């Protein structure tokens, strides 16, 4: 042990000793050059003794500064090289982990399909279309937490509704609906927004209005939101194979961001899918963003560290702190078209400006200076589009451009070329 320690000290200490010795020799050399220069100026009669020695000091200082600049440049190059090697090593490790996960999945599938092996259904495994790959562990944890949290629900209306949610999640009857977000005025699809729909045992679709309140009352909203996130990651994987410019807005609840037990594995799941950071935007209502806790803000910052962006929707008050949005990683703000028209008519303050003090066509530019793009949502008529275009808004969303459409199961779980189509 002592031999290893002495070797470690030698290795660690050597790089520091060598540059220190070299620097001392260089300083002595520069000092000698300065002395020789001063003596030469004096002996040759080019200047007085005092001025000659002053000139020698100037030579010494200039040489020292040049050497320091060169040393800093070399140190910077060495640091950048070390960082580059570290990033390469991390990427290599991630690739190895992904390959290991793939091999484990293949072995598990082979064992599951082995002759004579019974199929076992557990609470941690959906009945059908179980997602494979990095999201499998996340889905298993969601269902395990659901099993624990759903026990003992009262048999009243709200409890029965929560039971329906639990059954839908356990049976994987959770559908992803996508609605296009288009660029204006060309109306080319740049993004999609993901919505959750549940199905009961008869196949009837349950909209958010029918289950969100019960999910919140019984602590199931995080599980609903997180399963939606998993679906969004799956579809982003498909979409980015054909067009990496298309992204998805995926709703995330404050409960998910403040859950200290669930967030770490969720963050790890996103870390392993950080290559999709440019295509996956997490969305929450303005009211939830304004009321976020310090824990939620810290976890948002950790997601932003991996390159993920945020969006706020249901923006009813445009008197926003744009600098705060920028610091929090918010890159999009969704505002109803009618509300934008009211703002253009000078009926409310915008980003600290008094009503009517900013030209309507400059509002989008003001937000853009802080890295925030405005999306006009709930666009229903062509007349509204005309007014929105006058405001120089870059994006629009609404039934005029396309209603939410369900994503087929074969799109989510198939890997063939046809899986790249939506709807």
Angle (CA) 327-331-335 rounded to 5° is 120
Query: Is 351 among the domain residues?
Result: yes
The answer on pLDDT for 379 being more than 90 is: yes
Query: Is 409 among the domain residues?
Result: yes
Task: Please state the rounded mean pLDDT for residues 178-192.
Answer: 94
Q: What is the pLDDT of residue 261?
A: 77
Q: What is the CATH number of the domain that holds 191?
A: 3.20.20.450
- Asked if residues 239 and 246 have their Cβ atoms less than 8 Å apart, the reply is yes
Q: What is the pLDDT of residue 415?
A: 38
Of residues 326 and 75, more confidence is placed in 326
- Asked if residues 223 and 255 have their Cβ atoms less than 8 Å apart, the reply is no
Tokens of residue 93, six digits:
């490790």
Q: Residues 18, 163: one domain?
A: no
CA dist., res. 348 & res. 320, Å (int): 12
Q: Residues 62, 163: one domain?
A: no
Q: Residues 402, 345: one domain?
A: yes
Task: Please state the rounded mean pLDDT for residues 168-177.
Answer: 78
Least confident of 56-60, 171-175, 196-200, 306-310: 56-60
Task: Please state the rounded mean pLDDT for residues 70-83.
Answer: 68
Smallest CA-to-CA distance from 150 within 160, 141, 140 is with 160
Q: Residues 89, 217: one domain?
A: no
Q: What is the pLDDT of residue 14?
A: 39
Please write the tens of the pLDDT for every residue from 229-257: 778 888 888 877 765 568 899 988 887 78
Q: What is the pLDDT of residue 128?
A: 36
Query: Is 185 among the domain residues?
Result: yes
Per the structure, how many domains does the chain have? 2
Q: Residues 405, 268: one domain?
A: yes
Give the range of the structural domain holding residue 59, as residue numbers without chain letter. 2-96
Q: Residues 89, 159: one domain?
A: no
Task: Please state the rounded mean pLDDT for residues 250-269.
Answer: 84
Q: Residues 257, 156: one domain?
A: yes
Please write the tens of the pLDDT for every residue from 82-107: 655 555 555 455 455 555 655 665 55
The answer on pLDDT for 171 being more than 70 is: yes
Q: Residues 370, 261: one domain?
A: yes
CA dist., res. 115 & res. 236, Å (int): 35
CA distances to 185, 202, 272, 399 from 386, rounded to whole Å, are 9, 43, 43, 16
- Asked if residues 247 and 191 have their Cβ atoms less than 8 Å apart, the reply is yes
CA dist., res. 80 & res. 84, Å (int): 6
Of residues 215 and 189, more confidence is placed in 189
Query: Is 101 among the domain residues?
Result: no
Query: Is 225 among the domain residues?
Result: yes
- Contacts of residue 340, Cβ cutoff 8 Å, sequence gap at least 6: 363, 374, 376, 388, 391, 393
The answer on pLDDT for 157 being more than 80 is: no
Q: Residues 51, 162: one domain?
A: no
- Asked if residues 38 and 15 have their Cβ atoms less than 8 Å apart, the reply is no
Query: Is 120 among the domain residues?
Result: no
Least confident of 183-192, 266-275, 290-299: 266-275
Smallest CA-to-CA distance from 282 within 243, 208, 238, 229 is with 229
Tokens of residue 53, six digits:
């020695």
The answer on pLDDT for 117 being more than 70 is: no
- Which of 47, 72, 96 delimits the end of a domain? 96
The answer on pLDDT for 71 being more than 80 is: no
Please write the tens of the pLDDT for every residue from 29-62: 777 777 877 677 667 766 677 776 777 677 777 7
Q: What is the pLDDT of residue 273?
A: 85
The answer on pLDDT for 360 being more than 70 is: yes
C-alpha 261: how far from chain center:
20
pTM across the whole model: 0.60
């Amino acid at each position: 042990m002592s031999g290893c320690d002495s070797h470690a000290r030698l290795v660690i200490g050597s790089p520091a000793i060598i540059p220190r010795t070299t620097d001392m020799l260089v300083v002595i050399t520069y000092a000698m050059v300065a002395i020789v220069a001063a003596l030469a100026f004096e002996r040759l009669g080019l200047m007085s003794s005092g001025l000659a020695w002053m000139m020698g000091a100037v030579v010494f200082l200039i040489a020292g500064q040049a050497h320091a600049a060169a040393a800093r440049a070399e140190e910077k190059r060495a640091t950048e090289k070390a960082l580059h090697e570290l990033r390469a090593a991390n990427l290599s490790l991630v690739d190895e982990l992904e390959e290991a996960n793939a091999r484990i999945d293949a072995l598990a599938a082979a064992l599951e399909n082995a002759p004579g092996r019974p199929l076992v259904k557990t609470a941690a495994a959906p009945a059908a279309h179980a997602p494979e790959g990095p999201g499998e562990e996340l889905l298993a944890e969601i269902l395990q937490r659901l099993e624990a949290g759903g026990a003992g629900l009262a048999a009243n209306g709200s409890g029965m509704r929560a039971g329906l949610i639990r059954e839908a999640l356990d049976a994987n009857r959770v559908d992803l609906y996508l609605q296009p977000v288009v660029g204006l005025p060309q109306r080319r699809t740049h993004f999609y927004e993901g919505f959750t729909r549940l199905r009961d045992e008869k196949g009837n679709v349950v909209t958010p209005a029918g289950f969100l309140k019960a999910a919140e009352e019984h602590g199931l909203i995080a599980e609903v939101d997180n399963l939606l996130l998993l679906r969004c990651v799956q579809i982003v994987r498909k979409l980015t194979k054909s067009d990496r410019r298309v992204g998805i807005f995926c709703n995330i609840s404050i409960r998910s961001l403040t859950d200290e037990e669930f967030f770490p594995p969720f963050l790890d799941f996103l870390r392993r899918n950080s290559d999709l950071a440019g295509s996956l935007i997490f969305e929450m209502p303005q009211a939830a963003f304004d009321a976020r806790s310090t824990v939620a803000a810290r976890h948002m910052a950790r997601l932003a560290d991996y390159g993920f962006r945020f969006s706020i929707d249901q923006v009813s008050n445009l008197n926003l702190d744009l600098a705060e949005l920028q610091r929090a990683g918010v890159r999009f703000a969704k505002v109803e078209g009618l509300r934008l028209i009211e703002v253009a008519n000078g009926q409310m303050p915008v980003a600290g400006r008094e009503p009517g003090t900013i030209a309507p066509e400059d509002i989008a530019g003001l937000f853009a200076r802080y890295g925030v793009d405005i999306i006009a949502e709930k666009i229903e008529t062509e007349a509204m589009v005309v007014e929105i275009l006058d405001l120089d808004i870059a994006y629009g969303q609404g039934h005029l451009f396309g209603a939410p459409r369900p994503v087929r199961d074969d799109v989510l779980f198939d890997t063939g070329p046809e899986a790249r189509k939506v709807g």
